[in-house]
Every structure is written in structure tokens, then in C-alpha cells.
A and B are shown apart, each in its own frame.
Chain A
Amino acid sequence: MKLRVIAAAVLLLTAACSPGSGEGGGGDGKSFEFWSFSGINQKAAVEEYKKKKPDVEVKLTEVGNAQETAQGLTTALAGGKVPDLVLIQGDDLPKFVEQPQNFVDLKTLGADEIKGDYLDWVMSQSIAKDGQILGIPTDVGGMAMAYRTDLFAAAGLPTDRESVGKLWPDWNAFIETGKRYTEKTGQPFIDNAATSVFYQAVNQGSQKYYDDKHELIYSTNPHVKSAFELGIKAAQAGITAKQSSFAEGWSAAMQQGKFAALAAPSWMLNAIRSNAPETAGKWDLAAIPGKSGNWGGSYLAIPKRAKNPKAAWDYIKTMQSPQGQLEHFVTSGALPTTPSVYQDPQLTGRNEPFFSNAPIGKIYPDSLLGLKPFYIGPDSTTIGTEFLDAITNVEQNNGNPATAWDDAVRNIKTAIGK
């Protein structure tokens, strides 16, 4: 993961050095360049597309992780060579939605006709102020809690996913369960408090850092404050392995069973599989405390200066149709954004062998049903990171829990100037 930072930096440099590639045109319609990020297996989707359209050439580049890909795209848009098609993570999207002039309005290619296929609240996040449609959603997160059945059994906790879900109707009950586990085994219960508790809880409100008028309310929204306090409570309960998500130690701890549960949106399943392949069959998935929520999701967009916007649009239309997303779900597990397939037996019947045959086709769509969507703004990522850092500081670095909230708010003010 870390090496990719360097790879991305090199790409940024080359992108920055190459002169502008001229205004977009129709292109030959037979080839296009596609920037994606790593870890979500876009290769599989491209392979599927090639089977359908053998005469089209797709040049896929995995730039780096999602954030690095957004950075590469920014530099490219600022004056480098742009791809014809780019995958943007939901959290990075608002910055681009604020500057829609950099992208093709997908309505000009026919996005209006297919707009209704997608979850309203997911689609609305990629619509700019003037009504321009910037991107088509490829997947949503949905939420679940992944847990180790063998470790739960050793701690005397139930192991079947129904009973486990009942252990934690809410986050306080979840933390209590963690205390029981840790008392019994002497081992930490979850990977960390910041992402596995705060980040999940804060995403379960009807408003987060912005209100419906897009005004900042991160410091006054009681929901954010209570989610933050849950995070601090979990950090102080002594139930966490103090491993930051995606850090070196996190992977090692996962492989060695140093924690028994972690929050797992649908795309996390792949991370667990590839990080700890020898734990196959020892995992299962239960409902998240509070039942509903979403973490993550991505969009496909076409930069304004793309040379082959038509070929890129054909890819979007083919692969992101309800049928296309359903097929991709069956092979990769990424949850579709097209609710019309949520009742399809291919989806509802999908089980995940690595996770004790957990019915992911039911768990993840269910977690989206009670969802109250909120507005994600241009500073949401920065605000979220500062909150996460404040909790991590209490958890891993003996930070003062009493001042953590004020510190976080002050840091956010410094960072975004508001």
C-alpha cells in the first residue's frame, strides 16, 4: 500500500509534465483509457466488458489507493493528460462536484434516461448545482460487522450471526459485549475505536457534518457529538487492539487473530480475504449496531478533455446497468447501486464461503434500507479525519479524553478555516 504512494507520486509528476492533450472529441470509439484505484478489482469488470465488446481496447491503470487516484486526477485536470474514464470514491467526489466544468455532463450522453435506475440519494451526490450529472455510481458500501466465530466461541459468546446481531442492538451494547469478551480472554475485541465505532456510528445519522442547506454543523450536531463520545468510550474501555485501519500492524494483527471483530462494509470483505487468507471460514458477518448505514461507494466520471468520451460512456452504460452491476456483484461482491436487482435471487442468494457462507446478498442490502442519507460536502473528509485522529490519540497515545472533543473541533477550524 505504501509503495503505491510513490507510484502515484511518479504518475503525478508525469501527468504534470505532459502538456495538455487538446480538447475532447468523439475519438475512435474503439479504445479508451481508464484510471481506477487498486483493491476493488476493476480488472474483473474490464475483463467482463472485453467479453461483451471484444473489439474495444481498454487501457486500465490502477493509480493507487482511492485518495491517490483522486490526487492524480486533480493534477491531470489542472493541465496534464486526462484519462477518458475515471473511478472516484464517494468521499473524494464533493471536491469535483464543486468544479463541474472539469467533467463531461453525462446528460449530454444520455444519463437522464438511466438516472432513475440508481438509488436516489447515491445519484444525487454526483449532481452539481446547475444540474450537471458528473458520475454514475458503481457500488455502495452497506454495513456489517465481521467477527471471528472461533474466537467468539472461545470467549463463551454465541457464534451464529442471528444471536450475535442480537448481542448489540446499539453501540453501547456493542462496547459492553467487547468488555465481556476482553474480560474472558484478555484479548482486544475490535481493531480500533476510531473506524470500527465512531466512523460507523457517525454515518448512521440523518445529518452529519453539513445540514440540508449545506451549512457546516459538525460542532453543533448532537449526533456527531454522541458518535464521538461512543468512540472515546470504546477507546477507554480497553477493548481495542489499537491498530489503525490499513496500517502494517493492523494486517498482522488480523492474520494472528489479535482482534475478534471489525466493521466491514461490503468492500472490506476483499481486504480481509487478501490480508488474512489463512483465516478462511473462521469469519462470519452480523448486523451492525443500529442496523443501517453506508460507508464508501464509488462513481465513474468522464473528464471534459477526454479523447474518447463515447467509448467511455459505452463502458459505463454497459457495466453499470442493473444487469451489469448484478453480474459484477456475483463475481466480486461489490454491492449494486441499482435497487431493482436487490430482490433478484442471484443477489439475495449470494453467500460468501470465506465468511461461513454469510448471506451477503441479504445483509448488505438490508443495511441500506433504513438509511437516512445525508449531504457529504467538500470538507467532509478533512473533518472526519480530524475526529478520527482525536479518538486515535486517546486510544493509542494517552491523549486526554476530557479535551478530545474540543481539540478536534479546534483542529478542524484550523484545517478548513471555518
Chain B
Amino acid sequence: MSTTLAPVPVAPAEPPAPRVGTPLRERLAPYAYIAPFFVLFAVFGLFPFLFTFYVALFDWNPIGDHTFIGFDNFTRMLDDPRFWNATRNTVSIWFLSTVPQLFLALLLAHLLNHARLRAALFFRMSVLVPYVTSVAATAIVFAQLFDRDFGLLNWLLGLVGVEPVDFVQSTFGSHVVIAAMVTWRWFGYTTLLYLASLQAVPRDVYESAAIDGAGGWQRFRHITIPALRPVIIFTVITSTIGGLQIFTEPLLVSPGSTLTCGAVRQCQTLTLMLYEQGFGRYEFGYGSAIGVALFLMVVAVAAVNYLLSSRIKADR
């Protein structure tokens, strides 16, 4: 993009152009317009990203020595039961939050798309309310709902004679609490995505199906779901990427606000472990190695996304 080297373009021989060449400034202008994004991306995206790979090769004390140790951080990571534990937790929380979330959204989108729904706009907009709620507020409310001794849920269980359940201290229970939070926060967003896609389906398809005697469930199965297939794939992939990076919710429900998320790391996710190593123990190198592993997982998911979506196109 050097200004001195850029030659003035030769005008095409025929037909004669109205102007002989474009001034240099105008030719560079488009690059200037898009530059802010690329500059910001280079500074805040690309550089930290590449730097993470670099730091992962070191025993890196942020306020002390940086010793090159090659791939030791990675071999250590693969031997580290805490890493595999965090991976299991992350996948489990992702599964528990994505499946109900997408089913709920599918059902709601179908209902909200109903022709005879009164105050449709009100209902459509109100599903977005959880999405605009601060995640910290959500976590505090949910932590209180699920509390062992003082939670509403255990109070209700107590009314029917069930012993209180210590959600946050058990592995499965803590995953359920976090998954419930994620589901609650995101189902409205997903619903609107589905709804937008459903609006593109002509009403007469539903109407003629009804005339032909198709019941609600049949219409849902044979019209709604096929129409939504590309969007469903899209939401599965985006929620997977989001699920791999889940951080705030487990940190906030963690008993005593610890980075391990419980005594046996029962709800410690990969990002939380990354943060624990980097900022809890100041092992930046090891934390970066976990970051690289996380990146590779996201790339793998994105590759699956690509394969699936190209298959959908082939189907059509």
C-alpha cells in the first residue's frame, strides 16, 4: 500500500474512459475506510492470538523470567487430570444447555408463528428479555434459587418431602444449575432466529396442510422442522462455540468464588482453568497452552459446521 510505488493505472484503450485514471487518493480511499477494522483486529485480535502461541512455548512468569521449554506445557497438559476434567465439564455443560435450549426454542418459535396468536409482537419481544439481563444478575438469582439451605427449589422439594439437594456441590447438579442459566439466557435469542426463518415459509403451506387433514404435530414435524434445518445447524454450531468458552456462569456459581469451581473442580470449565493457571497461579505459559487447545477445539467445531452446511446445500 505504499503511496510512492502505486502506478497511475493506464486507461483502457477502448472505449475511452471518461476520466484518465483515478487519482491516487481515491484509489486508496476504500482501504482507508476499511482500515479501522483491520488495524483494531491486528492489535486486539491477531497479535494476542499469535502471542498466545508464542507464550505457550515458555515457562512464563509475568513478573519474572521467561524460559523457553518447547512443547513441555502441552505434554504436561495432556497428562493433567485437571485438564481432562475441565474438558468433560465443558462438554457436559454444553450438552445440558444446548439440547433443552434448542428444543424449547423450536417449540416456542412454532407457537409464536401461529397465525391466530393475539398480541404476537408482545410475546415475540418478551422472549428476548432474558437475553438482555446481565449475566451476573442471572447467576446471582440462580445461585439463590438452587441454594441447598435457603433456595426456593429446595423449599419446594421440601414441601413434597424430598431431602434438600446440594446442587452446587455435586458434579451433575452444578452442571444443571449452569446449564439452566445458559438455557434461560439464550433460548429467546434462538427462538427469534427460528421465528425469522419460519416467517419465510408461506402461510398457504400450513393452510393447505391443515385442509389436507394434518394435525398440529404433523405440521410441526413435516413443515416447521424441515424449514428450519439450516438455522438449526447454525444455532447448534454457534452454541457449541459459545459453550466451549463458558466462563462467567461457572465462576459466579462457584462456592466461595473460587477459580476451581468447587472442592473437586466439579464445575471448572476450560476457560476457568485457563484463567486459574494464568491469573491464579501466574503460570502464563501453561494457561496459554490451554488457550491453544481450546482454539483447536473451536476450529474442529467450525470444520464440522462447514461439512454439515455444505451437505445441506447438496440436499436441496
Contacts and interface: CB of A to CB of B under 8 A. Distances in A.
B263 A249 contact: no
B169 A397 contact: yes
Interface in A201-258: 241-250, 252-253, 256, 258
Which A-B residue pairs are the 10 nearest by beta carbons?
A392-B263, A78-B62, A244-B256, A393-B263, A389-B263, A99-B64, A244-B255, A247-B256, A77-B63, A396-B169
Contacts of B82: 414-415
A284 B252 CA distance: 33
A399 B264 CA distance: 9
Contacts of A78: 62-63
A2 interface: yes
Q: Which residue, A2, A389, A393, A414, has most C-beta atoms of chain B within 10 A?
A: A2
A389 B63 contact: no
B263 A102 contact: no
A96 B63 contact: yes
A96 B255 CA distance: 27
Interface in A378-407: 382, 385, 388-390, 392-393, 396-397, 399
Given A78-B63, A95-B282, A249 B148 contact: yes
Interface string B65-87: 00000000000100011100000
B166 interface: yes
A397 B264 contact: yes
A63 to B, nearest CB: 13
Nearest to B64: A99
A343 B266 CA distance: 49
Contacts of B80: 414
B63 A99 contact: yes
A160 interface: no
Given A248-B147, A397-B263, A2 B136 contact: yes
B139 interface: yes
Contacts of B126: none
B281 A382 contact: yes
A382 B63 CA distance: 18
Contacts of B81: 414
A247 B255 contact: yes
B235 interface: no
Interface of B: 61-64, 76, 80-82, 136, 139-140, 143-144, 147-150, 166, 169-170, 248, 251-252, 255-258, 260, 262-264, 266, 279-282
A2 B147 contact: no
B263 A2 contact: no
Contacts of A385: 258, 260
Given A75-B62, A77-B62, 7 more contacts: A74-B63, A99-B64, A242-B166, A246-B257, A252-B149, A396-B263, A414-B82
A245 B256 contact: yes
Contacts of A382: 281
Given A77-B62, A258-B149, A5 B257 contact: yes
A415 B260 CA distance: 12
Contact of A389 (B76, B257, B264): B264
A68 to B, nearest CB: 9
A98 B255 contact: no
A252 B154 CA distance: 15
A6 interface: yes
Contact of B136 (A3, A250, A252, A399): A3
A154 interface: no
Chain A interface residue number, banded: 35 or more
Contacts of A96: 63
Contacts of B139: 2
A246 B256 contact: yes
A84 to B, nearest CB: 17
A249 B149 contact: yes
Contacts of B140: 2, 248
Contacts of A71: 279-280
Interface centre among A74, A75, A98, A397 (most CB of B within 10 A): A397
B252 A2 contact: yes
A149 B166 CA distance: 29
Contact of B263 (A253, A256, A390): A390
Contacts of A151: none
Contacts of A414: 80-82
A385 B170 CA distance: 19
A6 B252 CA distance: 10
Contacts of A241: 149
A109 interface: no
Interface string A247-273: 111101100101000000000000000
Nearest to B171: A397
A396 B166 contact: yes
A275 B255 CA distance: 17
A278 B62 CA distance: 45
A249 B282 contact: no
Contacts of A77: 62-63
A78 B256 CA distance: 28
A192 B111 CA distance: 49
Contacts of B252: 2, 5
Contacts of A399: 263-264
A393 B166 CA distance: 12
A98 B282 CA distance: 13
A280 interface: no
A77 B280 CA distance: 15
B279 A12 contact: yes
Contacts of A65: 257
12 contacts: A71-B280, A74-B62, A74-B63, A95-B282, A242-B148, A246-B257, A249-B148, A258-B149, A397-B169, A397-B266, A399-B263, A414-B81
Nearest to A382: B281
A78 B148 CA distance: 41
A44 interface: no
Nearest to B80: A414
Nearest to B79: A414
A180 B257 CA distance: 32
A1 interface: yes
Tell me which of B64, B82, B140, B255 has the highest count of chain A C-beta atoms within 10 A of its own C-beta: B255
Interface string A15-46: 00000000000000000000000000000000
A258 B150 CA distance: 11
A77 B62 CA distance: 8
Nearest to B151: A249
Contact of A248 (B61, B143, B248): B143
Given A2-B252, A385-B260, A252 B150 contact: yes
A287 B272 CA distance: 39
